[in-house]
């Protein structure tokens, strides 16, 4: 009888252990923007589960958060959106004492950062947008935003980002203005430029352009260098250029919402992502640039060359900034672009 009771007690203890759920870290990120093997390793190291939801635009992410989706522990917005979220009281100030790997952040990051003190966000990846093309079918190409209008031979085989800041910003740079301009006359010029581009494109597109240029559906696309880098890993017939008139830069940051339930785990994840070897592997997977000096020792030379831009070329870039109340000017301009026939 005693042996039976011991066996029953042991069985109950096993069942109780099986019923114990692991702590879950909920992350809201861009699509295909982290090496899944690194996530798996973090889960094992911390005896936890990581669940990642994705968004395809900063504004869509903010709308979801403001609509009541408060279950995320870590979000990856662009810098200008970090400013907006902080102003709205949605973010926890970063507790730097919980991120020992902050020492690995490249000091050069401050030159492009909207918040170099990292008050509310820690840099994840620096992104910039340009033009990708099929070398064989497109042939010689002018390094200019004007190709979206001039290359009528590619009509219907072109895409432009479905992102008002990126696309209006590109048109502003083409006309010689700041991508953060709030001058209504300059925005009207930019609107007319994009409407002219629109007549030549297949569609405004944020996700499918990667597969489209890879399989030949599209021949010329406006896109993020990291997305195109992933395609180039499989196809060296895809070229990428940064337009001579200038281009847009943004930094996606790791932020902790005030509503996060697992803040300590979120901080551990941020610290993990900035370990040198982890950051290097993540860059090799995403082909985006993480401003982490410790990662350089773990990177292949070919990755350094393709991911980290030349300093001279980078000087032509401009960081997307928060426009405050003037953002409505861009919304109005974007609505006019979308409505144009």
Domain boundaries, the chain: 2-126+251-308, 127-249+315-339
Q: 168, 198 in Cβ contact below 8 A?
A: no
pLDDT of residue 69: 86
Rounded Cα distance between 38 and 98, Å, is 20
Q: 79, 121 in Cβ contact below 8 A?
A: yes
Domain at 127-249+315-339: CATH code: 3.40.190.10
- Could you tell me the end-to-end alpha-carbon distance of the chain, in angstroms, rounded to an integer? 85
**How many degrees, rounded to 5, is the angle at CA 140 between CA 139 and CA 142?**
135
Rounded Cα distance between 62 and 84, Å, is 9
Rounded Cα distance between 125 and 95, Å, is 20
Q: Which of 169, 171, 219 is nearest to 198 (CA)?
A: 171
Q: Which of 59, 58, 48 is nearest to 25 (CA)?
A: 48
Q: 193, 175 in Cβ contact below 8 A?
A: yes
pLDDT of residue 140: 92
Residue ranges in the chain modelled with pLDDT below 50:
1, 5-6, 12-19
Rounded Cα distance between 224 and 32, Å, is 13
pLDDT of residue 20: 61
Judged on CB neighbours under 10 Å (0-12, 13-18, 19+), 23 is middle
**In the structure encoding, which two tokens stand for residue 144, read together?**
């200019």
Q: Which of 132, 135, 101 is nearest to 118 (CA)?
A: 101
Domain at 2-126+251-308: CATH code: 3.40.190.10
pLDDT of residue 306: 84
Report the length, in residues, of the chain.
341
pLDDT of residue 10: 52
CA 195 to chain centre: 26
Same fold, 2-126+251-308 and 127-249+315-339: yes
């Amino acid at each position: 009888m005693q042996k039976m009771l011991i066996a029953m007690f042991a069985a109950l203890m096993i069942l109780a252990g099986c019923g114990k759920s692991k702590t879950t870290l909920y992350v809201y990120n861009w699509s295909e923007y982290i090496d899944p093997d690194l996530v798996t390793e973090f889960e094992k190291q911390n005896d936890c589960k990581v669940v990642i939801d994705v968004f395809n635009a900063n504004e869509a992410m903010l709308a979801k958060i403001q609509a009541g989706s408060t279950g995320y522990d870590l979000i990856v917005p662009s810098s200008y959106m970090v400013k907006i979220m902080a102003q709205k009281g949605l973010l926890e100030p970063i507790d730097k004492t919980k991120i020992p790997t902050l020492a690995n952040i490249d000091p050069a990051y401050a030159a492009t950062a909207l918040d170099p003190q990292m008050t509310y966000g820690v840099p994840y990846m620096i992104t910039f947008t340009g033009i990708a093309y099929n070398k064989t079918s497109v042939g010689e190409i002018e390094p200019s935003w004007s190709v979206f209008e001039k290359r009528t031979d590619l009509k219907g085989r072109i895409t432009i980002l479905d992102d008002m800041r990126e696309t209006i910003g590109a048109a502003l740079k083409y006309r010689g203005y700041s991508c953060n301009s709030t001058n209504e006359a300059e925005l009207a010029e930019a609107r007319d430029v994009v409407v002219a581009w629109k007549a030549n494109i297949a569609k405004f597109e944020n996700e499918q352009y990667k597969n489209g240029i890879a399989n030949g559906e599209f021949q010329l696309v406006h896109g993020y260098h990291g997305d195109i880098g992933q395609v180039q890993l499989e196809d060296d017939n895809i070229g990428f250029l940064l337009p001579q008139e200038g281009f847009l830069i943004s930094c996606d940051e790791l932020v902790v919402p005030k509503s996060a339930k697992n803040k300590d785990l979120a901080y551990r994840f941020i610290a993990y992502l900035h370990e040198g070897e982890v950051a290097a592997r993540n860059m090799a997977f995403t082909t985006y640039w993480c401003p982490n000096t410790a990662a350089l020792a773990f990177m292949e030379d070919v990755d350094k060359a393709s991911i980290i831009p030349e300093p001279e070329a980078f000087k032509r870039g401009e960081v997307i900034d928060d426009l405050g109340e003037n953002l409505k000017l861009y919304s109005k301009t974007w609505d006019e672009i979308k409505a144009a026939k």
